[in-house]
Amino acid sequence: MAEPKNTELMEKIVSLCKRRGFVFQSSEIYGGINGFWDYGPLGAELKRNVKEAWWRDIVQNREDVEGLDATIIMHPTVWKASGHVDTFTDPMVDCKTCKARFRADQMCDTPCPKKPSKKATECEGEKTEPRAFNLMFTTHVGPVKDDANVAYLRPETAQAIFVQFKNVFETSRQKPPFGIAQIGKAFRNEVTPRNFTFRSREFEQMEIEFFIKPDEAIRAISGAVSAPASGEPREDWGWEAWHKYWFESRVAWYESIGLNRDSLHIRWQEQDELAHYARATVDIEFDFPFGQQELEGIAARSDYDLSQHQKVSGKSQTIFDDELRQALSKLDEGQRAELVDSYKAARLKYLLSSGVEQELAEKSAEADGAGFLKGNYVPHVIEPSAGVDRLILALICTAYDEEKVVDEKGKEEVRTVMRFHPRIAPIKVGVFPLLKNKPELVAKAREVKKLLQDHMPVFYDEAGAIGRRYRRQDEAGTPFCLTIDFDTIGENGEETADTVTLRHRDSMKQERVRISDLVGMLLPQVR
Ligand code: ATP
């Protein structure tokens, strides 16, 4: 991408992440390991909040999405069926002079490790021809290390959802349209990990497979497929409407946790970027300091994935839809034949593109058409696939702010403040006794902390001047701070007893609030 890069800002962000305990290099005391990152105390809370917000909004608050928590290592044939063993590769080139290894399609952006001031393409060394490099990490299951025991660390969470589709379908009493969602680790042996946590070798994904009826079934049941429109889901939505629904919902969700709409971009993948089975893919891109880059991809993947697992495992992935069977039986002969033919043609196209030879493919498609007539089909899927770590980075970049303020003594200083949305802020409230050597203040502050900590993460701090304590919480992104002072403990009369000073992070405004009102006031803002 050709956007201007803000390297200075990125350096400040990386430095704050380390200084305040958001993100550390993995195994740092041993020099680190490229492409692996750990989340420190604040980062771990931030990440939990983001994942919990996603899970609550996608799984718990919806009636049409079920959750899944599958293993990282699966049967190796899963990755054969999905295409990852054969095609999950990046083109890699080696520099014959400096021996550095690059992704051929990213060389223009990658510095030469031997001469960091130069881009890889400018390094004088002759390059090898690009070679396909498979990004999956391998391991061996059991004590014997041979080819028969090879297994893979999953490069995406999605395949487990497809492999467990039938189990979830049969146990959850859902029927399409419905989704299965999963959050979990994924591993990719990226050729050139870079841009801090943006491209890592171990990362987390939040993925949804949203299973829908094929358009032929919608046409049979509702008469026609409606044009994509915004708003609440409808019975007559086909794949295009569901695809639009999901990328719009995902953008709205990003806004709800604090990303600015202006920094998010919808990019339709070009025809030549699309996987052969994908009907359309939209990337939601974010303005990172190093350029506009992908945060999440929303792909309309047809019935490819379940069909592949059906073909390779030999286990049927079709479902029976009585509404479809009945709808088809009520149509006239011509309409019915047209829909069955259209379904058969789509199945034939898939079978041929997946390597089945013509005669067998035609026979299978015929059988699929006959099955469709009885109400059976392989569900189609819309896949919103997001990276947790890229989102954390986007949230950190959005939150980071510096502003000039004047302290109590009239001195100008720069305040670094992380303006996280209260919903995802690692710590919600800082609680400070005005003085640490005044036992009544300390006891009261402890009491306030205890009152709040059952409802939200609270940080107790009694060290240093109040202004310094506020600044520390500003850098942590804590939206609210409470100071317990002499008013609180009733030294200035009944009226102000049991009230505290509530200080707002963003405006730095302060107000007096009754302790008994705190939970009711803060909770709706931080949930
Ligand atoms: P890219 O083109 O940037 O390599 P991708 O298109 O291969 O990404 P997907 O396979 O669609 O990515 O994965 C879905 C999401 O998982 C991405 O949108 C991204 O947020 C996240 N993701 C993928 N690879 C990485 C990685 N190496 N490090 C961190 N997050 C990643």
Q: pLDDT tens-digit profile of 79-99?
A: 999 999 999 998 888 888 888
In whole angstroms, give the CA distance from residue 110 to residue 36. Answer: 18
Ligand 1 atom nearest to 299, measured from its CA? 11
In total, the chain counts a number of residues equal to 527
Note the maximum CA span of the chain: 92
Amino acid at 328: L
In whole angstroms, give the CA distance from residue 55 to residue 440. Answer: 42
Q: Are 190 and 199 in contact (CB under 8 A)?
A: yes
Ligand 1 centroid to residue 84 C-alpha, Å: 14
Counting ligand 1 atoms within 8 A of each CB, the residue from 390, 392, 393 with the most, and so the one to mutate, is 390
Over the stretch 39-58, which tens digit does the pLDDT of each residue have? 999 999 999 999 999 999 99
List, chain by chain if needed, residues with CB within 6 Å of any ligand 1 atom.
Answer: 156, 188, 190, 199-200, 203, 205, 294-297, 385-387, 389-390
Backbone angles phi, psi at 479, to 5 degrees: -70, -25
Give the residue whose CA is nearest to atom 6 of ligand 1.
297
Provide mean pLDDT across the span 28-43: 98
Amino acid at 470: Y
pLDDT over threshold 60, residue 4 = no
Ligand 1 atom nearest to 391, measured from its CA? 20
Whole-prediction pTM? 0.94
Q: How confident is the model at residue 123 (pLDDT cuts 50, 70, 90)?
A: low
In whole angstroms, give the CA distance from residue 93 to residue 25. Answer: 27
319 or 112: which leads in pLDDT? 319
Over the stretch 441-482, which tens digit does the pLDDT of each residue have? 999 999 999 999 999 999 999 999 999 999 999 999 999 999
Give the residue whose CA is nearest to atom 20 of ligand 1.
387
- 3-state SS of 348-360? HHHHHHCCCCHHH
Counting ligand 1 atoms within 8 A of each CB, the residue from 153, 285, 294 with the most, and so the one to mutate, is 294
Residue 59: its H or E element? none
Over the stretch 188-235, which tens digit does the pLDDT of each residue have? 999 999 999 999 999 999 999 999 999 999 999 999 999 998 889 999
Provide mean pLDDT across the span 268-277: 91
Give the residue whose CA is nearest to atom 4 of ligand 1.
199
Assign 10 to helix, strand or coil: helix
Residue 96 pLDDT = 84
pLDDT over threshold 80, residue 108 = no
Q: Are 150 and 76 in contact (CB under 8 A)?
A: yes
Q: How confident is the model at residue 121 (pLDDT cuts 50, 70, 90)?
A: low
Over the stretch 131-158, which tens digit does the pLDDT of each residue have? 889 999 999 999 999 999 999 999 999 9
Provide mean pLDDT across the span 300-319: 97
Q: How confident is the model at residue 277 (pLDDT cuts 50, 70, 90)?
A: confident
Assign 197 to helix, strand or coil: coil
Task: List b or e across 130-149, with b for residues whose CB sees 16 or more CB atoms inside 10 angstroms.
Answer: beebbebeeeeeeeeeeeee
Give the residue whose CA is nearest to atom 12 of ligand 1.
297
Residue 117 pLDDT = 60
Task: Give the other-Cβ count within 10 Å of 427's Cβ.
Answer: 22
Give the residue whose CA is nearest to atom 16 of ligand 1.
387
Q: How confident is the model at residue 104 (pLDDT cuts 50, 70, 90)?
A: confident
In whole angstroms, give the CA distance from residue 289 to residue 393. Answer: 10
Give the residue whose CA is nearest to atom 13 of ligand 1.
385
Counting ligand 1 atoms within 8 A of each CB, the residue from 82, 191, 203 with the most, and so the one to mutate, is 203
Residue 50 pLDDT = 98
Residues paired with 112 in a beta bridge: none
